[in-house]
Amino acid sequence: MSSGAYAFFLNISAKWVAGIMATLAILDYMATSVLSAASATSYLSSQFALPSAFGVFPLTIVVILVFGVITFLGVRESSAMASCIFVGHLITITVVMGAALVYWIRNGNDILISNWQTPHPDTNVASLIWNGFCLGLLGVTGFESAEGYLEDLKPDVFPSIIKYMWICITVVNAPITLLVMAVVPMSEVIDDPDSSILTLAKAASGNSPWLTYWLVIDAAIVLGAGVLTGMVGVLGLFERLSKDQILPPFLLIRNKWTGVFQYIILFFMVLCVTLYSTTGGDVTSLSGVFAVAFLCVMVSYALANIMLYTNRPRLSRGNATRVPIFVSTIVFGILVGALVGNIVIDPPIFKTFVIYFAIVHAVLLAFMNRVWILRRILKITGIGATAFVPSIRSTPVMDMGQTLYEENLSDSADMGPSVDVPIDIVRLKNVGSSSVPQRAAAPVGDQGLAVEAVEQEEATEGRNSPQLVTQGFHRLVKAFNSMLIKSMINSLRNHPVIYFTKNDSLTRLHRAIRYIRQNENSHKGNIRLVHIYQRVEHIPKRLEDNHRFLDELYPKIQIDLIFIQGTFDPDTIHAISQRLNVPKPAMFMSCPGEQFPYKIEEFGGARIIMD
């Protein structure tokens, strides 16, 4: 699935861990887009005389906005454009390397020997090699962004993409570094380390500007594609975060002409411009944020591979090759070492990264815990009640054998294609039953009395609270809380969540409810336990009794038990999603085994929450 390490950890760990990975990915996408735009304008300004009104700072912002508009127009779907940029870049690099190689052959090894003999303050060869590796690892960026296209690719294509990316980097990065050392004097490299390849092109062409201009134009195009890469990657990530009820759902509104998520693009452009403006256009600071964020994302992939063995050992991999655990562990150690090495080489980059990480993650945490925050606001104002009446919809108990056909299913974009699957709901327990009204302290059908009782309790608490403000303002705050904040809380908590249970294990059911309570702040008001069976006699005997026990154990949660006749497959899950109006990212399951005939991605975002 797209959205990278966030989706990965969402299925193998707690949601707060996935939130950290989402923050790292957001920072990486932001730094990639901003740094690519700033580098492109820097290349252009170094070789072309730009108008005074179009300095590097304003032009960088213009580039970000222009590529935001390009993304808005749907160019992210253009594989032809990506292929043209890729082929053009390979041709450019090949010409530069060929010219440098010819120059090296003609002029001999004098420059290479001189550079090798240039003294360095650090005489420890091993330390120099390790530092070179740590810095060189930053040149493999792109691997962490490739997963943003996973759901747009044909099956089993992604491994080939990664392999060819590795080949291209291997045959380009190391030889170009060697050519720079053989053609460009070390003094020029030290004076302008960020433009070493431009210096290489200038020297290899005999100070003729044609190759330099060619390289600058190519660099601007490729770096512009880097801006687009960040925006495309964040589209998939923000879409998933919105579907998981972390970010606001209005971000999922598509533009009626281009079909893209217009508010995600707008929001990301604002983030990028804000990041660039707050740094004052300091590319060094941006590079530090990018370096740490990129390496952290790469570390997260290695860590995720290790956690697959510990948290989801039964997970079916299909035709995918299992990476040996010792390989994942070695790679994890190397990446962590490279991350620490870069921080040791340039300590300020970590301080800058921590500041931006704290800001972005605080915003994400606020969205993840907005129900908790709203309830704290009620307490701080001194007039909020701590108890809320769960929303009770009067749903009749289905008779055994009643069959519901999915003939008029919605075919919205996030639900997948419409299907015609019969669903036989044998029994719907607890919805409208006596246990819920007992929790609300009111009989069924008389919810007005329950609401009135809670309001009276709130009024009593309000009279006993200290009078910190005037009576008129106090009434205004009370009216605001009761009409706005409580309605927001109820709207957030009224989203049901489904857990598909295969058996009647009380331990597993309890673990599932605990996971939802701890991780799903917006969903934990209504949990639906769904058991899919093929024959009535196959229904676990203790499932109903265990459901009643859990229902009494968690009096503040509405826990329903639903039996559905059918098979556990993607079509059935899709039909249930449409019939019960529960999005697939709000559907949870235990980890399927090796013999499971379907891939996890076929379930449209349904989440694995336990092994």
Amino acid at 538: H
Beta bridge partners of 587: 498
Mean local confidence (pLDDT), 75-86:
75
Q: Distance between CA atoms of 388 and 392, rounded to whole angstroms?
A: 12
Domains belonging to the chain, first-starting first, are 4-367 (1.20.1740.10), 395-442+483-610 (no CATH)
What does the DSSP assignment read for 94-133? Answer: HHHHHHHHHHHHHHTTHHHHHHHHS--S---HHHHHHHHH
pLDDT digits (tens, 9 = 90+) for 6-57: 888 988 888 889 999 999 999 999 988 999 999 888 888 877 877 766 778 8
3 state SS of 578: helix
* Cβ atoms of 78 and 149 closer than 8 Å: no
What was the pLDDT predicted at 275? 86
Q: Does the pLDDT value for residue 563 go beyond 70?
A: yes
Closest CA to 286 of 297, 299, 273: 273
Pair 310, 45: CB distance under 8 Å: no
606 has pLDDT over 80:
yes
Query: Looking at the whole model, is its pTM more than 0.75?
Result: yes
581: left (phi over 0), alpha (psi -120 to 50) or beta: left
The pLDDT, as a whole number, for residue 42 is 85
C-alpha span between 172 and 180 (Å, rounded) = 12
At 183, the pLDDT band (50, 70, 90 cuts) reads very high
Find residue 588's DSSP bridge partners: 499, 607
Alpha-carbon distance of 530 to 582, in angstroms, equals 12
Q: pLDDT, tens digit, for every residue of 227-237?
A: 888 888 888 88
pLDDT tens across 320-368, in order?
777 888 999 999 999 999 999 999 988 888 888 999 899 999 999 988 8
The DSSP call for residue 157 is -
* Residue recorded with tokens 């500007």: 209
Q: What token pair was written down for 436?
A: 């819920």
| pLDDT of 412 over the 70 cut | no
Mode of pairing for the β-strands spanning 497-500 and 587-590: parallel
18-52: buried (b, 16+ CB within 10 Å) or exposed (e) per residue? bbbbbbbbbbbbbbbbbbbbbbbbbbbeebeeeee
263, 251 contact by CB (below 8 A): yes
* pLDDT tops 70 at residue 434: no
